[in-house]
Amino acid sequence: MTIIIDPQSSGIAGNMIIGALVDLGADSNELKSIMEKSAYEFGKVEVTFEKKLKSGINSTYCHVEMMEHKHSINYPEFIEKIEKLEIDEKVKKTAIKVFERIAKAESKVHGKTMEEVHFHEVGASDAVADVIGSIYGYYSLNLDKQKIIGLPIAVGGGTVKTAHGIIPVPAPAVLEILNGAHIIGGPVNSELATPTGCAIYMEICDEIKEFIPSAKPKNVGYGAGRKDFNHPNILRIIETSDITESDRIDVIETNIDHLTGEEIGYLFDKLLDAGASDVSVTPIIMKKNRQGSLLKVISSRKNRDKIVETIFAETGSLGIRISPNMHRGVAKREFTKKTFDINGKDYEVTFKIGYINGDIISKRPEYEDLKRIAEDSGLPLRKIKELIK
């Protein structure tokens, strides 16, 4: 399954993301509770959901009303409060990454360190509710397990009044956050893309495309924006069932000639923990006939920076080669579990099944399950493979 976030018509904001996720099936009562509770430390808010027609399109509007205003705080104090929230760790960690994107953009625009950045609009309680609500809804629908594609963002035009004065649209912080994304000016003289919405979009999107890829639409959620225009002020999130995916990946390489076998093995595990899709180490002959190894890592774009940082830190390499946006054909995959009786004991085994156009092309048990059964039963691994088919 692929999820497509479509902000081409009227941009993106945190409450529009939440509305679209509720339209797709996220529990509005759960979201109301988690949003109000999380925002309380930053100022009381009241969250309501209602159905609205936006230029004839039935959509879900999430309204976050600030019931009190508190003074702005600096970034370290802000994150300290977020870390103390009693919410799911996955939601908390991803939300912190979203706010880090905003803080980095603000620090660059204003020429300050991140420690000096004070959150105004971004640090307000309604923005905390928007980010936590969006990320909670994202995980509640298991979208973290799906590929997410973002389409170009309409950013609007004109000027907007902020805590820093009147600034052009898109705001400088928005441009920094959307570095590498595809933006479109207009179609109205109004701000359409908020820093909060853009930071969430950049954090959860695996890839940004100009057009919707080949897919079968399955379900569509519409999130309503606050303003009314002569066109639908909505954000679409499209759930699709894939035909065959065309994946874009980064291939990251470096040569190694000074690490021991144990250190290379440790690096291998660290890279997988950092989000690498695959890691391989190949023996090579380097200049001056020295023996060495070619480290090759396959990664999605969103994990590239973390993987590069890991390689630099663990190897001390002076140069890393990156081949970005390479195409890889990917069959649709799903996992299923079966139970087998081996020597009078039941063992659960996970099978990875690959499909092309609905036809099964492979069905293999996971190695780690086979290894676990062999160690527990005392039978040879090859015997376990014969018994489990």
Q: Please, what is the average pLDDT of the chain?
A: 90
Give the pLDDT of residue 128: 94
Look at residue 50 in the predicted model and tell me its pLDDT.
Answer: 97
- 96-144 pLDDT tens trace: 999 999 999 999 998 998 888 876 644 579 999 999 999 999 999 999 9
- Among 234, 220, 211, which Cα is nearest to 150's? 211
Determine if residue 288 is left, alpha or beta; phi over 0 gives left, psi from -120 to 50 gives alpha, anything else beta: left
User: Which pLDDT value is given to residue 121?
Assistant: 47
Q: Is the pLDDT of residue 383 over 80?
A: yes
Give the model's pLDDT for residue 177: 97
Which pTM does this prediction carry? 0.66
**What number is the average pLDDT over the span 263-274?**
92
| Portion of the chain with pLDDT greater than 70, in percent | 93
Residue 326 has pLDDT above 70, yes or no: no
Model confidence pLDDT, tens digit, residues 226-238: 999 999 999 999 9
Distance CA 235, CA 5 (A): 8
Q: Which of 101-105, 250-254, 361-365 has the lowest mean pLDDT?
A: 361-365
SS (H, E, C) the chain: CEEEEECCCCCECHHHHHHHHHHHCCCHHHHHHHHHHHHHHHCCEEEEEEEEEECCEEEEEEEEEECCCCCCEEHHHHHHHHHCCCCCHHHHHHHHHHHHHHHHHHHHHHCCCHHHCEECCCCCHHHHHHHHHHHHHHHHCCHHHCEEEECCEEEECCEEEECCEEEECCCHHHHHHCCCCCEEEECCCCECECHHHHHHHHHHCCEECCCCCCCEEEEEEEEECCCCCCCCCEEEEEEEECCCEEEEEEEEEEEECCCCHHHHHHHHHHHHHCCCCEEEEEEEECHHHCEEEEEEEEECHHHHHHHHHHHHHHHCCCCCEEEEEEEEEECEEEEEEEEEEECCEEEEEEEEEEEECCEEEEEEECHHHHHHHHHHHCCCHHHHHHHCC
Specify the amino acid at residue 31. L
Position 222 scores a pLDDT of 98
User: Per-residue pLDDT tens for 143-162?
Assistant: 998 989 999 999 999 998 87
